[in-house]
Amino acid sequence: MKTFRTLILAAATLCCLSVSADDGHDLWFRLMQSPYWGLSQSDYNALKVTSMRQAIDDEVNGILKHMPEYMGKDIATIRTNLSKDANTGEEGFIISNDKRTITISASTEKGLLYGVFAVSRLELAGKLPKPGKSIVDKPMCQYRILNHWDNLNGTIERGFAGRSIFFGKPIDDTIIREYARANASVGINGTVLNNVNSSPQILSDENIKLAAHVADILRPYGIKVYLSVNFASPKAFGGLPTADPLDPAVRQWWKAKAKELYKVIPDFGGFLVKANSEGQPGPGDFGRTHAEGANMMAEALEPFGGIVMWRAFVYAPDSPDRANQAYDEFMPLDGQFHDNVIVQIKNGPIDFQPREPVSPLFLGMKNTKMMPEFQITQEYTGESIHTCFLASMWREFYDDIHMVDPSIQYPAIAGVANIGDSRTWCGSDMSQVNWYAFGRMAWNPDIQPAQIADEWLRQTFTINPKFLKPMTKVLLQSREAVVSYMMPIGLHHIFAGNHHYGPEPWYAPRGVRSDWTPPYYHKADAEGLGFDRMATGSNNIAQYPEPLRTYYANSDKYLVYFHHAPWSRVWPLLCKKYDEGVRQAEQFATTWHSMKAYVDAETFDRQALRFDRQAKDAWWWRDACTQYFQQFSKMPMPKKSPAPRYQLADLMKYRLPIDNYTAAPIDQLP
Ligand code: BDP
């Protein structure tokens, strides 16, 4: 890759071409480039970064090497300075500018490493401290963790970027090193290697060895390895007759396993557990509570400083309101979890929808450590095809939480990764922004999406304002557009069965659990649309404290999430939003097509295909949903609404082939 790019650049210089071919692999380092640029491919592959000091020095040298191009005016040189400072804590840093000498000071090497990455970020944004000035930065959250949903056979659950970089084939050390560096550059300091739907085999000797090898490559970049474990492991894998958390032999088994793990991975992070959820085993199988299950594992990890991240994603089949369940099940356990247990809660009570209210558990539990789980992989927001800048969604999450109490902060945060072995890592260039954004927001939950968008675009593509301005606008509007053309005004979970990409509000085959079908959520009938979650219905609204309760009850954004609203109120709003979403998606494609001069040709083409596809799919969503709901509303489309492109009868016959999502199936319709 490096050689290839070097050759292309050389060729470009010789032929006076202005742009080089780019396969998207260099992520947000495309402008500043890596310190290893120019190495031959074999030297690059043979490179080993074995200590954090080396990682820091390499990055400093990298910046110095590229200084003439980007930093010449501002910086004469860069120094690092390790000295204890209460202001920076374990991971923070100070960047100061003394007569154009930039000094990065930190109490730890980790702080220095984060500081060096901050220098290139700040420089490209024109925000390095001026001479005589300094800035201090440190993370607001201690554990900033990626969750990979990678299976041991190399497939990735809800992955849209190829196969696993960890499992299913021999580990490519170069890829893992690049992955580590990318994560460190945005402050991510932990990674769970395998799927929450975990095979007990993750604890086999072979897989522990693999995890130890990965941990060795990640360590110089300050990243710890964690594993998802299957609650039934002592039985399914360890040969015990039970996995009952109160059984002494089971407790002993987990303690021995922990000891074994820490022997080969001394800084092992801990376990992530999905228990009694969607068919996974858990303490409930033995009549025990989530707290009893989590605490047993916590005891095993405690002597080594490890943590348990215990997921709260639980819901029983066919219950009257899925949104109520995690709260009902976990609230009585508040205060019962050990100190090294953190309850990991999805941002919303349903499941990573384009828009949901926050999970009420975050505001309910007062004596339990909690961590938000965001989904970086775009399972419900257009996979790696649609541009949907999720920082806007995560900002909304924090803003809603802070409406109740602005002082709320979390000790940890998880993001379900969108990373695979695709050359772009994330399945597309634009999807990379969500990996970047997760890291930046995990570090600082107060950061604004506009800042993240600007930083990322600069580091990834160009600092030319003619590109930055329109593309920042695209990113900032993208999430709201996705909500508008997929599920506006509080609609949720009206996806096609299984693949979660296209619309199928009609999907309700016999024999499928009702809460896995869209009509359970939209409840369209002759009177109106929506799920009554007010006191007249499931009373889910009562789980929210004020002022959020009043806000959610009255906001059009959540109209049919909380109310079964009459068609007279819903119909005009619904049509308006679907039309708006389509218009925006079309505008994104138009904007990208006018960016050709600013990005290299390969990147341009890759992304043009996707923006065009997004615009078409927006029409598909709009036509399917408006025509389907019209059967209930019996109201005409508003005068200003354009005629449909596709007919409902055709769309209802069509199922997107799940393994072939890069084709443009909508084109096959009449
Ligand atoms: C849903 C996914 C499913 C996951 C589950 C979870 O569709 O594949 O296993 O969440 O988070 O969003 O456990």
Q: Given a cut of 90, is residue 7 above it in pLDDT?
A: no
List the residue whose alpha carbon is closest to atom 1 of ligand 1: 351
Within 41-192, strands assigned E span: 77-82, 93-98, 101-106, 134-137, 143-147, 190-192
- Contact partners, residue 72, CB within 8 Å, separation at least 6: none
Over the stretch 316-337, which tens digit does the pLDDT of each residue have?
Answer: 888 999 999 999 999 999 999 9
Within 312-360, strands assigned E span: 341-346
Q: Given a cut of 50, is residue 5 above it in pLDDT?
A: no
Predicted local confidence at residue 13, as pLDDT: 32
Query: How far is the centre of ligand 1, averaged over its atoms, from the C-alpha of 421 (Å)?
Result: 21
pLDDT (average), residues 239-265: 98
Q: By the 8 A CB rule, do 338 and 365 touch?
A: no
User: What is the pLDDT confidence band of residue 9, given thresholds at 50, 70 and 90?
Assistant: very low
Query: How far is the centre of ligand 1, averaged over its atoms, from the C-alpha of 245 (Å)?
Result: 25
- Residue 50: which region, alpha, beta or left (left: phi > 0; alpha: psi -120 to 50)? alpha
Q: Is 404 exposed, middle or buried (0-12, 13-18, 19+ CB in 10 A)?
A: middle
Predicted local confidence at residue 64, as pLDDT: 85
Give percent of the chain above pLDDT 70: 93
Ligand 1 pocket, 641 CB below 6 A?
no
> Which atom of ligand 1 approaches the CA of 500 most closely?
7
* Mean confidence (pLDDT) of the chain: 93
DSSP 173-184: HHHHHHHHHHHH
Query: How far is the centre of ligand 1, averaged over its atoms, from the C-alpha of 372 (Å)?
Result: 15
Of the residues 379, 383, 492, which should be mutated to test ligand 1's pocket, given the most ligand atoms within 8 Å of the CB?
Answer: 379
- Identity (one letter) of the amino acid at 544? Y
Query: How far is the centre of ligand 1, averaged over its atoms, from the C-alpha of 45 (Å)?
Result: 35
**Nearest one of 599, 648, 659, 602 to 623, comparing CA atoms:** 648
Query: How far is the centre of ligand 1, averaged over its atoms, from the C-alpha of 365 (Å)?
Result: 23
Over the stretch 169-202, which tens digit does the pLDDT of each residue have?
Answer: 999 999 999 999 999 999 999 999 999 999 999 9
Residue 137's φ and ψ, nearest 5 degrees, are -145, 140
Catalytic pick among 351, 580, 602, 612: 351
Ligand 1 pocket, 197 CB below 6 A?
yes
List the residue whose alpha carbon is closest to atom 12 of ligand 1: 351
Over the stretch 632-664, which tens digit does the pLDDT of each residue have?
Answer: 999 999 999 999 999 999 888 877 655 544 444
Over the stretch 292-311, which tens digit does the pLDDT of each residue have?
Answer: 999 999 999 999 999 999 99
Residue 344's φ and ψ, nearest 5 degrees, are -100, 120
> Which atom of ligand 1 approaches the CA of 416 most closely?
11
**Nearest one of 347, 280, 270, 278 to 309, comparing CA atoms:** 270
Ligand 1 pocket, 274 CB below 6 A?
yes
Query: How far is the centre of ligand 1, averaged over its atoms, from the C-alpha of 238 (Å)?
Result: 26
351 is catalytic: yes
- Long-range contacts (CB closer than 8 Å, 24 or more residues apart) made by 639-643: 640/579, 641/575, 641/579, 642/579
Over the stretch 109-158, which tens digit does the pLDDT of each residue have?
Answer: 999 999 999 998 998 888 999 999 999 999 999 999 999 999 999 999 99
- Please give the Cα distance from 621 to 458 (Å, whole number): 32
> Which atom of ligand 1 approaches the CA of 351 most closely?
12
- Identity (one letter) of the amino acid at 254? W
Query: How far is the centre of ligand 1, averaged over its atoms, from the C-alpha of 578 (Å)?
Result: 27
Ligand 1 pocket, 352 CB below 6 A?
yes
Ligand 1 pocket, 351 CB below 6 A?
yes
Catalytic pick among 302, 379, 396, 504: 379
Ligand 1 pocket, 379 CB below 6 A?
yes
Q: By the 8 A CB rule, do 351 and 343 touch?
A: no
Of the residues 147, 150, 157, which should be mutated to test ligand 1's pocket, given the most ligand atoms within 8 Å of the CB?
Answer: 157
Q: What is the token pair recorded at 116? A: 């060096």
pTM: 0.96
- Contact partners, residue 49, CB within 8 Å, separation at least 6: 55, 58, 177, 217, 220, 221
Ligand 1 pocket, 157 CB below 6 A?
yes
Q: Given a cut of 90, is residue 340 above it in pLDDT?
A: yes
Q: Given a cut of 50, is residue 19 above it in pLDDT?
A: no
Over the stretch 392-419, which tens digit does the pLDDT of each residue have?
Answer: 999 999 999 999 999 999 999 999 999 9
pLDDT (average), residues 556-580: 98
How far is CA 529 from each of CA 561, 565, 632, 633, rounded to the nearest angstrom? Answer: 9, 5, 9, 9
Query: How far is the centre of ligand 1, averaged over its atoms, from the C-alpha of 205 (Å)?
Result: 27
Query: How far is the centre of ligand 1, averaged over its atoms, from the C-alpha of 153 (Å)?
Result: 18
Ligand 1 pocket, 467 CB below 6 A?
no
Ligand 1 pocket, 196 CB below 6 A?
yes
List the residue whose alpha carbon is closest to atom 10 of ligand 1: 351
- Identity (one letter) of the amino acid at 484? S
Ligand 1 pocket, 313 CB below 6 A?
yes
pLDDT (average), residues 538-546: 98
User: What is the pLDDT confidence band of residue 18, given thresholds at 50, 70 and 90?
Assistant: very low
150 is catalytic: no
- Please give the Cα distance from 380 to 398 (Å, whole number): 20
Ligand 1 pocket, 373 CB below 6 A?
no
Catalytic pick among 278, 328, 339, 650: 278
667 is catalytic: no
DSSP 565-581: EEHHHHHHHHHHHHHHH
Of the residues 151, 156, 195, 196, which should be mutated to test ligand 1's pocket, given the most ligand atoms within 8 Å of the CB?
Answer: 196
Residue carrying structure tokens 């440190």: 138
> Which atom of ligand 1 approaches the CA of 352 most closely?
12
Q: Given a cut of 70, is residue 462 above it in pLDDT?
A: yes
Query: How far is the centre of ligand 1, averaged over its atoms, from the C-alpha of 573 (Å)?
Result: 31
> Which atom of ligand 1 approaches the CA of 195 most closely?
9
> Which atom of ligand 1 approaches the CA of 373 most closely?
11
Of the residues 151, 158, 274, 501, which should be mutated to test ligand 1's pocket, given the most ligand atoms within 8 Å of the CB?
Answer: 158
List the residue whose alpha carbon is closest to atom 2 of ligand 1: 158
Q: By the 8 A CB rule, do 524 and 574 touch?
A: no
Over the stretch 598-633, which tens digit does the pLDDT of each residue have?
Answer: 999 999 999 999 999 999 999 999 999 999 999 999
Q: For residue 77, what are the β-bridge partners?
A: 101
Predicted local confidence at residue 6, as pLDDT: 36
Query: How far is the centre of ligand 1, averaged over its atoms, from the C-alpha of 415 (Å)?
Result: 13
**Nearest one of 598, 604, 611, 592 to 458, comparing CA atoms:** 598
